[in-house]
Every structure is written in structure tokens, then in C-alpha cells.
Amino acid sequence: MSIPSVEKLEFGNEEKRTVALKRAADLKNRINDYLEEKDEIRTGFDMQEMLSSNRERQIALFNTSEENWQDWRWQMANRVNDVFTLARLLGFNEEQCAHIRRVGMSYRWAISPYYASLMDGTCEHDPIRMQSVPSIDEMDSTGYIDPMAEEFTSPAPCVTRRYPDRLIINVTNQCAMYCRHCQRRRNIGEVDQHQSHQSLMAALEYIRENKEIRDVLITGGDALLLSDRKLDWLLGELDKIKHVEIKRLGTRTIVTLPQRITPELCTVLKKHPPIYINTQFNHPREITPDSKQACDRLVEAGVVLGNQAVLLKGINNDPHVMKKLNQELLKIRVKPYYIFQAKAVKGTSHFIASMDEGIAVMEKLRGYTSGLAVPTYVINAPNGYGKTPVMPPYILAQGGGKVKMRTWENRVLDYHYLPEGE
């Protein structure tokens, strides 16, 4: 029996309950496949034994202390970027080492000891390893250097502007870990470089002169690799501009270097509300007690947290993995915001999942789990024309005051949104 249409109200209470019970059983059946698989998809919380044994091994290998390990400056100074150290951590063979050396000549790599400690060294398809350890697949020469033509959308030093009321300031090219799928590879270069004070002043001047800019996104590289003092100054300067209503920071440190989220940093951030931080968790394994603590501190400082995942082949191009990721993010108070279709950036083609897979992921999120766990899947239009949402079709036809709609369960219904005439 299906749910009767609204006009038929002559049902008794018992019949209504019977219908509801049947419907509830159907609803549970809709996610049985997920419920069976869910616990097999591990989070960092499920791997705590491995994480602490990796950490202890590294502390011994670096001949350092637990205290240093917890210090983000130590983590940055000791980013793993030589094959010898990496091989000692993960036990690579000669061929694997040769591949990393070869890729390293074209593309920079570096991994914070913390992020390296999340790796399961025994697994070649480990999602942490795939995102951080160079792969010979990067030598594939297809793809573009700058598919979004960012270089043509910079009206002032370190500014990227593609939208009417908001823009990006790029403050550094530095990251705690250089993602193998990085879409801004061309900026990474060989040396870490923060923007000069002069360039930042010029960017601020551009914002002051353009009163329609109400949302400023500070990113990089990684915005939180600026010092507390520099951030305090920059956020303070933005606060002085009356038309800047909100500030956003783009950082992956919550995932790759949670030690960066110190009480001191949080004291600075708390002084400059409203601040939104978008980070990038791509797999549930990245959700660890350390990253949760970082999120807790930021939330207590009044920061609103969002996630911008990238759809990555072999990592999260699977509806169940993506659903688990988004559910786990809500548990640490991070709102899933975007899923990006990976762009055809040279050296990252092996990560590109098909858009069919992306759409299938979205199909299995909407309705099947909390709306809060459903981000917007977006593609970046060519030439910097902006993020464009992609969705499975829910409106199949429309016109004359009605639509043919398709629900999350694939029920196709005619819906008259205007009352029907006699």
C-alpha cells in the first residue's frame, strides 16, 4: 500500500499507523547497502592504534620529542621531502624510490610528519598516500597548466576576481603538504614564498576602492601558514574597510597540520568576526582526534567551518565513501560545502573521476542522508567564468504551472504548483 493522496482523509488512525510502518520499513531498506558497508569505511578515529605507533616510530626516527611533534613550526621545518626519509617511513622498494625521484624533478613534494603518520604503509591505494606521495602517473603529459586562466583574472597584485561581490587574495604559495592533485601546481615552484607586504597593501587598496566587494577570501597556498601576527594585521586591515562584511580563510592545515590551530591563533581569529574557514577533507581517514581538536578550537573561537572536497578517482569517487565523509564531517562541526570536479591540470589526470560518477555520488546523498551532509557539486567553467553547479535532474519537464518532478527515490510525479482551474 502506498501513501494515499491528501484528499483521502477518511482513514482511521490504525490504518494510518499501518501505512506509516510500512513506509518506515521501505525507508530503512533504501539504505541497507550503506548500513552494511558503513563500518568497513574507516575513519582516523578507527585507526588510532596505527596512528600512535606511526607517530612513535617517527619521533624516534627524527630523534625528537613529543613536544616538538606537537609544534607546528617543527612539523613545517621537518616536512618529509626526500626519498630516503620517506622510504624509511614507508619501506619503499628501489623502483618506487626511483619513481618518486623522477617525479620530484618536475613537481615539488613535501609531507608534514603528521600527515605522513596517517598513512597505512602496507597499502598502495591508501587514500593518504595517494594524495601526498608522488606517483609516476604524474608524468603523463596531458592536461593544462592553468585551465582556469587565473592569470587573466587578476586585477591587482595577489587578487583573483571572478565574481561581482567577492574576491580572493593569494597570500602565500606555501602548504604543509603539497597535494598530488593540486590544481594550482604552477604556483608551487621550488621555494616557499609569502606575498610581500607591498603586494598585500596593493590588494587591500584595490578592495578599499571597490565598494561592491563584501566578501574577501584569504587563500594560497595555505592561508594559515602566515604567522599569527601577519594574519592579525591582515584581518584587522580588512575589518577597517566598512564594505567588507565577511572574511574567509582557505586552509588545509586542519587536515594536514592540525597543530597549526593553536590557542594563540584562535585568540587572533576570535578578534575578527565574522570568519569562515573552508578546508579540504577528501576521505574519512583524514578525520582524526587531532583534526577534531583543531575544529573544536576554531568553533569555540566563533569560526564557521566548511569543507571543499575534490572528487578524486580511487579516493572518494564512491557514493558510500563520500556519504560517510560528509556524515563524519558534521560530527566534527564542519559543514560540507562543495565537491569539486577535478580540472584537467597537467600531472593530475590520473585523479579525474568521470562526471557520471560525481552525479551518482550526489544522487545517493540527497534524500538518503541529512540535507546538511549534502554539498554542492561544482565544475569550474573554462576561462575563469565561475563555479557552476551540477546535479542529477529533478525537474524533468516544466511549463503551464506544473512540473514533472523526480524525487530522491526516483518517483516521477506531476506537481501543479499553481492551483488547477475548473
Residue with smaller CB distance to ligand PLP, 344 or 412: 344
* 114-138 exposure pattern, b = at least 16 Cβ within 10 A, e = fewer: bbbbbbbeeeeebbbbbbbbbbeeb
Residue with smaller CB distance to ligand PLP, 250 or 358: 250
Bridge partners (DSSP) listed for residue 366: 369
Report in angstroms how near the CB of residue 339 gets to ligand PLP at its nearest: 13
Integer angstrom CA distances of residue 378 from 36, 218, 334: 29, 20, 19
Report in angstroms how near the CB of residue 362 gets to ligand PLP at its nearest: 17
Residue with smaller CB distance to ligand PLP, 166 or 406: 166
Measured between alpha carbons, how far is 232 from 234 in angstroms, rounded to an integer? 6
Report in angstroms how near the CB of residue 221 gets to ligand PLP at its nearest: 14
Report in angstroms how near the CB of residue 386 gets to ligand PLP at its nearest: 8
Residue nearest to ligand PLP (CB): 162
Report in angstroms how near the CB of residue 149 gets to ligand PLP at its nearest: 11
Residue with smaller CB distance to ligand PLP, 156 or 168: 168
Residue with smaller CB distance to ligand PLP, 64 or 153: 153
| 242, 305, 256, 147 alpha-carbon torsion, rounded to 10° | -70
SS3 (DSSP) at 418: coil
Report in angstroms how near the CB of residue 215 gets to ligand PLP at its nearest: 7
Report in angstroms how near the CB of residue 160 gets to ligand PLP at its nearest: 4
Residue with smaller CB distance to ligand PLP, 11 or 163: 163
* Distant-in-sequence contacts of 206-213, Cβ < 8 A, 24+ apart: 206/155, 206/156, 206/159, 207/167, 207/238, 207/241, 207/244, 208/241, 211/243, 212/164, 212/165, 212/243, 213/165, 213/166, 213/167, 213/243, 213/244
Would you say 134 and 103 are in contact if contact means Cβ atoms under 8 Å apart?
A: yes
Residue with smaller CB distance to ligand PLP, 186 or 387: 387
- Which H or E run includes 340? strand 335-341
Interface ranges with ligand PLP (CB under 6 A): 160, 162-163, 166-168, 217, 387
